[in-house]
Amino acid sequence: MIQKVDLLDLAFSMPKTELHLHIEGTFEAEQMFEFAQRNNIALTYSSIDQLKQAYSFANLQEFLDLYYQGMSVLITEQDFYELTMAYLTKVHAQNVVHVEIFFDPQGHLERGIPFSTQINGIYRALKEAESKWDMTFKLIMSFLRHLSEESAFATLEQAIPHLEKIYAVGLDSSELGHPPEKFLRVFKACQNLGLKVTAHAGEEGPAKYIWQAVDDIKVDRIDHGNRSLEDKDLIHRLNHEQLTLTVCPLSNEKLCVVDDMSQHPIREMLSHGLLATVNSDDPAYFGGYMNENYQALIEQSKITIAELKQLAKNSFNGAWMPADKRQKYLSQIDELFAFT
């Protein structure tokens, strides 16, 4: 019992980064109804409670159907700003000091919302958090993999005037049937522009998709990567390349990627030396932000103090942040765990 209290306390108080977060997945039902009302948009759910009752998913696609519906009430730059600010305020209170945020421009462009409206609102909130709290950040533009490579290229075209605000590109949405190789050329174009690349792989899709992301796309990071554990050679390769995995425990549970939290593979990942990190993915839909993800791992997966420290360090070593800040936070973690 004492051990459990100490671990929770440590997890909550330690500095944290969030490396896998879809800003549209932070849309709390209350805020969604507020925006729907002020933008005069009818939601298919008659109340906040009814909407929340729909948060039960058998797989990724069932969640995505609701996620795209939810984001349809984001209209103005102020909407994107307030959505982002609400998320940053919450995680600042959880000692998150660095965030790397995905946004899905195609989910808004196809509704007629200009690229500049989206990015300017999100970016304004990030800059405000930076000046108020010294919170550092990177913005990641994600391509929707159920759409065509042509659509991804058209989106990249729209991003060109805003490249100074974008650090990396990602690949998300329905994984099965949409392998990374479908986007080989557009990722090459992004790399030629100096952008970093990450891709969701091995969430529902097979280890083969992770191989493609590593071998063909030459990603800088893997989002999820759960199914890498099925392939010893792949584990070896991920370790050799020192590729960080942005793992999302509560997401995996809610989307039935794992049977239950006690079966979560993050401890096995660590035991193989994989650079696993803890992240929240779509916290408004999956029942928790950063602290709640750590709490689930502590209470249900029984992670040890040594594993908690490793996860904390991995999250800073895998972050795209200035070296001096990284060092400062790594030292703080060493001090916090010095008694162990």
| Residues at the interface with ligand ADE (CB under 6 A) | 22, 25, 60, 67, 172-173, 200, 203, 251, 281-282
Q: What does 279 bind: Zn ion, ligand ADE, none (CB cut-off 5 to 8 Å by kind)?
A: none
How many angstroms separate the CA atoms of 20 and 282, rounded? 9
Q: Which residue has the tokens 């103005």?
A: 76
Q: What does 264 bind: Zn ion, ligand ADE, none (CB cut-off 5 to 8 Å by kind)?
A: none
Tell the smallest beta-carbon distance from residue 324 to Zn ion (Å).
Answer: 29
Amino acid at site 292 = E
Q: For this structure, is 203 an active site residue?
A: yes
Tell the smallest beta-carbon distance from residue 23 to ligand ADE (Å).
Answer: 10
Q: What does 291 bind: Zn ion, ligand ADE, none (CB cut-off 5 to 8 Å by kind)?
A: none
Which of 86, 176 has the CB closer to ligand ADE?
A: 176
What is the maximal distance between C-alpha atoms in the chain? Answer: 56
Q: What does 203 bind: ligand ADE, Zn ion, none (CB cut-off 5 to 8 Å by kind)?
A: ligand ADE
How many angstroms separate the CA atoms of 198 and 224, rounded? 11
Which of 28, 172 has the CB closer to ligand ADE?
A: 172
Per CB under 5 A, does 24 bind Zn ion?
Answer: no
Q: What does 18 bind: Zn ion, ligand ADE, none (CB cut-off 5 to 8 Å by kind)?
A: none
Tell the smallest beta-carbon distance from residue 221 to ligand ADE (Å).
Answer: 15
Tell the smallest beta-carbon distance from residue 132 to ligand ADE (Å).
Answer: 27
Site string for Zn ion, 143-162 (x = CB under 5 A): --------------------
Within 10 angstroms of residue 213's Cβ, the number of other Cβ atoms is: 29
From 137, 107, 143, 106, select the one nearest 122 (Cα to Cα): 137
Q: What does 326 bind: Zn ion, ligand ADE, none (CB cut-off 5 to 8 Å by kind)?
A: none
Tokens of 275: 């650079």
Tell the smallest beta-carbon distance from residue 209 to ligand ADE (Å).
Answer: 12
Q: What does 16 bind: ligand ADE, Zn ion, none (CB cut-off 5 to 8 Å by kind)?
A: none
Tell the smallest beta-carbon distance from residue 160 to ligand ADE (Å).
Answer: 24
Per CB under 5 A, does 281 bind Zn ion?
Answer: yes
Which of 100, 282 has the CB closer to ligand ADE?
A: 282
Residue 325, classified by CB atoms within 10 Å of its CB into exposed (0-12), middle (13-18) or buried (19+), is: middle
Is residue 121 a contact partner of residue 77, using CB atoms and an 8 Å limit? yes
Q: Using CB positions, name the residue nearest to Zn ion.
A: 281
Which of 285, 329 has the CB closer to ligand ADE?
A: 285
Tell the smallest beta-carbon distance from residue 109 to ligand ADE (Å).
Answer: 16
Which of 178, 313 has the CB closer to ligand ADE?
A: 178
Which of 98, 145 has the CB closer to Zn ion?
A: 145
Whole-number Cα distances in Å, 318 to 20, 147, 238, 332 = 11, 29, 13, 17
Catalytic-labelled residue, pool 77, 175, 203, 204: 203
Residues within the interface to Zn ion (CB under 5 A): 281
Catalogue the active-site residues: 203
